[in-house]
Amino acid sequence: MDRKQCYVKLSVQPTRGLMDEKFIILVQNAFPGSEVTVHALHKCEDGHSWEAFAHYNADTAGTVNVSQDCSLGGTYSGVEPMGLLWSLKPVPGSKPGLRMRKKNIEIPMEVLISVYRGHLTKGFLDQAPLAGVLVERWYMAPGVRRIPITDDGLTATLFLPSGPGPFPGLLDLWGGGGQLVEYRAALLASNGIAALALDYLTCSYTMETRKLVDNQYFEKAYKVLQQHPQIIGSRIGMMGLSLGTSMTLKMAVYSQVMKLSCVVCISGSHVQPVDGSLEDMLKLFTLNSHKTRTNEENQMIWRDLLLPIPTDPSLKVDLGRIQCPLLVVVGEDDQNWPAGDSAADMKEMMEQAGNSHLLTLLSYPDAGHLIEPPYTPHARASVFRAVQTREKVTSLWGGQTLAHARAQEDAWRKTLVFLKENLYGSTNSSATTFTNL
């Protein structure tokens, strides 16, 4: 047996791929029927290490195919081809409240896939693996161009797909944590859509003046896309997550400058002072801060801050006036925003106005707030620093790991279809891959 297992072979295909691309993990030459553990290890740029592992029994040929075989235990169970990524967790002994986020998208996420003898649950670094393969996972495909944007006081990064173009464009907004978050925009560009990642909370203007941006800031970002020679100015969409949905919906409905082809809103709400600014939106949170709850682990639950959904039309965006296709993504266990309640009200508003044909609603049971690109590890709760108070707390985002992983994969696939249908006019636009590299 030992002699046989000395020649265990491990292969991962592809070893270089995009973050939203599946891989195939194959163990060969193990002893027939033997117990093995397949292990994934990733060290983040912040120095923290994450791992996932699964238990398998080799078949009569000494083979384990992770894409087809059932995990008997570990950080996931069942047939889960990408379980070694979405079930990644901080290694034992890590500080609490970690969340994995890619900072430098010009370098890959490196994951060491290894196979061990037996069904292990700990001590992986203390044992020699039978075999190992280093895998690269990229947000930026070959040929994608990253272009920092500082014109007109903007803090943004434009990602252009490979090739001459012209390409449709997308304005990409994240949530209340601020910062310039680039990885989703880079992955969109890798799928053929020029994307502008925009920092609107901690941008250079705000850092220098201590003032929040006004609505014109978003219109300036739109014009950067509209006027770029490699972007189709008449085919521009907007995507927001969490707080980013508030500005996305407001600009889509009320801006006289932004003529959007489509809108994607993930885990957000239309509730806000319609005639107000970003500053007024944040003041509303402060005004309602007494509605904050905590659970037994002292994790902050903020979903009630915008509840009940108001009946006053001045306190919510009038979705009856939206004139472009709208995709709304909801995690039904969202503990951070009342996304489900908001989506129901938005749907009712559109039905009453006769434009509900523009709405596509994706609602996922047991998914939480942070619905990200697929195969991203689920964070049910993590440390969060609010921009307005700078107080560091632990926020409860919600979600159950398996259901959340399913939601991320399904929502990303359907989001790409939605964007390509409404920005390209078809689902056949090409995405760059690492095939044959």
Catalytic residues: 242, 334, 369
**Distance separating alpha carbons of residues 40 and 280, to the nearest angstrom:** 45
Q: Please report where in the chains the tokens 């020679």 appear, as a residue.
A: 229
Pairing of strands 9-13, 24-28: antiparallel
- Positive or negative torsion for Cα 91, 92, 93, 95: positive
Per the CB < 8 A criterion, the answer to whether 234 and 212 are in contact is no
Greatest CA span in the chain, whole angstroms?
75
Give the position of tokens 């689902």.
427
d(CA 64, CA 117): 13
**For the sheet containing 16-18, what is the strand order?**
16-18, 131-138, 109-117, 35-43, 49-57, 89-90
Task: List 159's β-bridge partners, or say none.
Answer: 146, 195
Spatial neighbors of 22 by CB under 8 A, at least 6 apart, are: 67, 81, 82
Residue 368 corresponds to which tokens in the numbers above? 């939480």
Cβ-contact 89, 52 below 8 angstroms: yes
- Residue at token pair 């994240």: 174
β-pair type (194-198, 156-160): antiparallel
Structure tokens at 122: 């700990």
Length of the chain: 437
Q: How far is the C-alpha of 48 from the C-alpha of 177, rounded, in Å?
A: 20
Structure tokens at 363: 């609602």
Q: Cα(424)–Cα(408) distance, rounded to whole angstroms?
A: 23
User: How remote is the C-alpha of 70 from its chain's centroid?
Assistant: 27
Q: Which residues contact 126 (CB under 8 A, 6 or more apart)?
A: none
